[in-house]
Amino acid sequence: MSLVIEDPRVVEFDVQTDEMLVNMGPQHPSTHGVLRLLLRTDGEIVHECTPHIGYLHRCAEKIGENLSPPQYIP
C-alpha cells in the first residue's frame, strides 16, 4: 500500500511565456479618459501595474483657459 496519492489529471508542462504589455482601460464608454492601467504580464501573472489617471471634463477647462482666476470659478 502506497502513501503517495497520484492524480492522473495533474499534468506539468514546461511552458515558455513572453512578457506582454496590456492596456486595461475603462469598461464603460462614459468613463472614457478617467483611468487607464498599463499591465506588465507574463502569462496570467501580473508583474506590474502602472495607472495613468486622466480627468473627465465637460469643456469647463477649455472655457477657463482664456479667463483670469477670479473670472473662472468652476
Note the pLDDT tens digit of each residue in 11-69: 777 777 789 999 888 777 776 667 888 999 998 889 999 998 776 666 677 777 788 88
The confidence score (pLDDT) of residue 2 equals: 60
The confidence score (pLDDT) of residue 58 equals: 64
In angstroms, the CA 16 to CA 14 distance is 7
The confidence score (pLDDT) of residue 57 equals: 64
Nearest to 41 by CA among 25, 18, 59, 62: 18
The confidence score (pLDDT) of residue 74 equals: 64
The one-letter amino acid code at 15 reads V
pTM of the model: 0.51
In angstroms, the CA 42 to CA 46 distance is 7
Distances (CA, A) of 16 to 9, 21, 70: 21, 17, 61
The answer to whether 62 touches 74, Cβ cutoff 8 Å, is no
